[in-house]
Amino acid sequence: MNQGVDNKILETLPQRIDRQHVLFFDMDGTLIDTNYANYLSYTQAIHQVLKTESDISYTPDIRFTRMHLKKIFPSLEKAEYDKIIQLKNNFYTEQLSKTELNVAIVQILKKYFKTNTTVLVTNCREDRAVMTLRYHGLFNDFDHKFYRNQHNKYEYALASLGMSPASVFVFENEKTEIENAISAGIPCENIIYVTP
């Protein structure tokens, strides 16, 4: 996996995190690199539904999404689109071996999950997140789990748990989600950007 965190940040975490801090972890691209498995699932579904061998190139740092699907195939009918999404979700199970742990972030989770409250905060669907976490043996390392919803995931988790934003450390790889964490009141210095 080619993602990382500034080593100086990792070295200072033990001095900054005490037992009162709550650790929020994103999943896709933060704890686990699922981009390649996601890409393979999409291309397999596209080939099955559209009966095409169109070459959709893989870019490791860009997640293939429903937006990409619509952009590449703008004339997709709704039934075709829905079938691709359904099959993509089914095919993901076969691609779990293509997912990879981000070792540096997993080590942080493993270090603190017995002494601190650890929370999964992801935009991933619950069934896929559970499957992925179980595959990598991480499911039981969280005290709370929040899956895809229509809200700012950080505001939602904080409100649901009744926690002060100042008590939270966030591990996140998406810049837009980092902005959401900041708008939820989490201090910038408590947000660890997991870089591509």
Check whether residue 81 and residue 115 sit in a common domain.
no
Residue range 114-161, pLDDT digits in tens: 999 999 999 999 999 999 999 999 999 999 999 998 899 999 999 999
Q: Name the domain boundary from 47, 81, 97.
A: 97
Query: Alpha-carbon distance 193 to 173, whole Å?
Result: 6
> Using one digit for the tens of pLDDT, what is the confidence trace for 85-120?
999 999 999 999 999 999 999 999 999 999 999 999
Report the domain count for the chain: 2
Q: Is residue 121 part of a domain?
A: yes
Q: How far is Cα 85 from Cα 18, in angstroms, rounded to an integer?
A: 42
Exposure string of 161-170, with b = 16+ CB inside 10 Å and e = fewer, is: bebebeebbb
Question: In which domain, by residue range, is 86 found?
Answer: 35-97
Residue at 2 is within a domain:
no
Model pLDDT for residues 24-57, shown as the tens digit of each residue: 999 999 999 999 999 999 999 999 999 887 788 9
Let me know whether 104 and 26 are in one domain: yes
User: How far is 88 from 81, CA to CA, in rounded Å?
Assistant: 10
Same domain, 107 and 169: yes
d(CA 98, CA 38): 9
Do residue 43 and residue 81 come from a single domain?
yes
